[in-house]
Each structure stands twice: as C-alpha cells, then as structure tokens.
Amino acid sequence: MSTNVCKILMLHGHGQSADIFKPKTRYVREVFRTLSNEIEFEFKYLSGVLPAYPDDNDITDKKVWGYGEPENDKINGLEGSIQHILDTLDEHGPFSGIVGFSSGAAMTAIVASMLEKRKAVCGISWEVI
C-alpha cells in the first residue's frame, strides 16, 4: 500500500513531445516502481512549447525547447521554455525530481541550477540528465 506520492517531471528530447516520449520511457517507469512499496510514483510528461518544424504550421506533435542560433551564441525561445517548466513546477508540484533526455536533459540542468534557491519551495531533491 502506497503511503507517499513521488511526482517526477519528464522532459523529452529534440523533436519529441510528451506523447512520443511517454511510451519510450515505459521501462524507466517500471524501474522506479520497483524501488519501494511505500512510494507511489506519478510521472508528469511535459511537451516543449515550440514546434520542431515551424514551416509546417505546427501540424506535427514534435516539439523543441529552443532554436539554436550558433553564429550569435543564442537559443531562441529558451526563456519561454524555461518559464513553461517553472510554471508547471508551480502549478502541478511539488515534484520530487526531474528526468530529462537529450535536450530535455539540458533543460533539466538549466532549471535545476535556477532552482537551487527555490528547492525548498518546489520540492525538487534530485535530477536525472
């Protein structure tokens, strides 16, 4: 019988979405669930806010966290993506951790560094990148 709920935020990689990423992490979820009979793991999958292929008028479910502009050392859309993640942490938290894959792992590292002073507020105690 579960006594505690451990919420985990899941961030996909480039050109994926929550719906694409979820079935790919089935075994990861199973491993978490074998860790304890006392903890119920709840996974929140979050999609990026930017279309992977903007010229397609956002007709696909493929999303990104930002668009690189190497010649200017800039990532367009990064601030909005970070805010989207922070809003999710505030609205659906507290979360026990964040798991990110590929560019989602980069977002995990960025958000974790920003949350160093907020951890007591949002409850994040670990990250997997």
Q: What residue spans define the domains of the chain? A: 4-52+62-128
Tens-digit pLDDT string for the chain (129 aa) = 446 889 999 999 999 999 999 999 999 999 998 988 888 999 999 999 999 987 766 567 899 999 988 888 889 999 999 999 999 999 998 998 999 999 999 999 999 988 876 654 455 555 555
4-52+62-128 architecture in CATH?
A: 3-Layer(aba) Sandwich (3.40)
Phi-psi group of 117: left, alpha or beta (phi > 0 → left; psi -120 to 50 → alpha; rest → beta): alpha
- What the block records as the tokens of 64 is 């990104």
pTM of the model: 0.86
Which residues in 52-76 are b (16+ Cβ under 10 Å) and which e? beeeeeeeeebbbbbeeeeeeeebe
